[in-house]
Amino acid sequence: MQALDQPTMASELRALVWTALIVPASAWYARSACRRLRPGFPRLAALLPTFPVFVYLPCLFNSLHLRLFSSFFHTWLTVNKLVLLALGTGPLHPSLPLVPFVLCAGLPIKLRLGQQHAAKRDSSPPQPPPPFADLLLPCARSFLFMICLAVAYPHTGWLPVYCVHFLYCIHIFLTLDLVLSSIALASATVLGTGLERQFSTPLAVASVNDFWGRQWNLMAVDLLRASAYEPVRARWGRDAGVLAAFLMSGLLHELLYWYLTLRRPMGEMLLFFMLHGVSQIAERWARAAGLWRPPKVAAYLLVSVFMVVTISELFFGPFMRAGADVRLMEESGAMLQLIRVVSRRLLRSFGVV
């Protein structure tokens, strides 16, 4: 953490401005190039110059939160989408209108399937208004629960370490849900269409397969399925496809670790995801053989313990040794303090306080 400067308002705003200029310009170039080239090597060769741009974008930020989201949005999702676009598959298509294409390329959003097909047609029928409550309610819920966590953290010193790490898991889910739902809400307002949710109920699962396949970070799951799982499964079978998807996810998280700590990865992220990939295969085999059919409550407790213990030892451990958890908490506290000050000033300006 010593090599990463402390963020300032000026430095982060400057990085956001550069990102807001570079991402749409790169997406416009990708759409223009792919409209003129056929899928395959010609498209891939034309898109190659954009990949270093998206890999470098997180380095513009000193805030760990902004580095985290930029690495997820751009280095992970956008590059993956562009590779799939070069191959003629994935969520992007050159026939999409410019604004939906740019938003879908640079942000973690996905048009609902019917609306995506309609957007590709030149004369698309009018779409019903997007269900804003589906996105607004998660934003409000996650924000309120994050405030409760911020109030509770100073009083968690007596809790066992795994309980504190379970609160960290809740914090990560709430942060991602708040940010992704807010982005989806803003994008739905611009596009006038409904967007798919990125999370379901990941904190209430009784199956490793259910958590990774249908509950957690569905945009990343869809891209891993298209770029790693399906090609490998078609050649070497389902289990090899699962391991390939988790291998790719582990490597991407190792890169994320470097972005946040500027330290050489030690392979713990990769080990975490490969362990969960093997566990997912073993669980499916056990279910097929009739060996894994515990009551729902027992399954929930067992899966929760497995998730928290492995996350604590292999996922949180490297970040905590690098001091990233402390800095992330400091940034979260500073953001809440800023929101509190701004809210108070707004209330005063309306004569409420």
pLDDT digits (tens, 9 = 90+) for 183-221: 888 888 787 776 777 777 777 778 888 888 888 888 888
**pTM reported for the whole predicted model:** 0.85
* Higher pLDDT pick, 127 / 103: 103
**Domain assignments of the chain as residue spans, ordered by start:** 1-108, 323-353
Alpha-carbon gap, residue 1 to 318, rounded angstroms: 12
For residue 3, give Cα distances in angstroms to 259, 260, 322, 323. 11, 11, 12, 12
Of the candidates 179, 208, 212, the residue with the CA atom closest to the CA atom of residue 306? 208
User: Does 117 score more than 80 pLDDT?
Assistant: no
What tokens does 270 get?
Answer: 């990769």
Percent of the chain whose pLDDT exceeds 70: 90
pLDDT in tens, 257-295: 999 988 898 899 999 999 999 999 999 998 888 887 888
What does the pLDDT look like over 65-84, one tens digit per residue?
Answer: 999 999 999 999 999 999 99
